Amino acid sequence: MVEQKGKYRPCVGIMLFNKQGYIFVGKRFDSDSYWQMPQGGVDDGEELEQAALRELLEEVGTNKVETVAKNKDWIYYNLPEEIIPTCWNGQYSGQKQRWFLMKFDGENKDININYTDHPEFKEWRWQNVDNLVTSAIPFKQKVYKMVIEEFSSKIKASVNLQ
């Protein structure tokens, strides 16, 4: 957890894994270098798992998932100072996130990153968990390390059961 020095936007993140144990990542339109797992804000009055399923449908275009786990505590991260004025109208210094581990029960054809009129991702792929941190934007890398630490054994157990 990072030092909390401002107002944090409530958010959910989804570590979506397939039958082979690979993780879904998308390349955002505003980046040619970094890949990220689906995530997004929680609407007022929205339950966290409901928000995660909504974000997954909006960003990945599928709801063919099973929720396996939710991380125990909020994970906080700060935006770089130079980004704060341009993100969320400068209203937040970062995000507090609850992460969900979800197993994808569909086929690749069930993924549609162009599901909404304003897609988040321009490309997507299944990625080995070992490469998640290095392919993420630097200010999210600690978050990804924490999520991997909490969920990787559950992914392995689920893949080994098949």
Q: Is residue 38 part of a domain?
A: yes
Percent of the chain topping pLDDT 90: 81
28 pLDDT more than 80? yes
pLDDT of 2 reads 47
Strand ranges inside the chain, DSSP E: 8-17, 23-28, 35-36, 39-41, 65-70, 75-78, 94-104, 121-127
43: tokens are 């609407």
Could you tell me what percent of the chain has a pLDDT over 70?
94
Question: What is the b/e burial string over 37-54, where b = at least 16 CB atoms within 10 angstroms of the residue's CB?
Answer: bbbbbbeeeeebeebbbb
The pLDDT, as a whole number, for residue 9 is: 94
Mean pLDDT of 96-124: 96
pTM for this predicted structure: 0.92
Tokens of 33: 């270098």
Q: Is the pLDDT of residue 4 over 60?
A: no
58 domain residue, yes or no: yes
Residue 1 lies in a domain: no
Residue 32's CATH number: 3.90.79.10
Residue 108 lies in a domain: yes
pLDDT, position 88: 84
- 118 lies in which domain range? 8-157
In this structure, is residue 2 part of a structural domain?
A: no
**What mean pLDDT comes out for the span 87-116?**
94
Domain count for the chain, please give it: 1
Tell me if 162 is assigned to some domain.
Answer: no
Q: What is the mean pLDDT of the chain?
A: 92
Query: Which structure tokens are listed for 105?
Result: 């029960």
Residue 3 belongs to some domain of the structure? no
Q: With 90 as the cut, is the pLDDT of residue 138 above it? A: yes
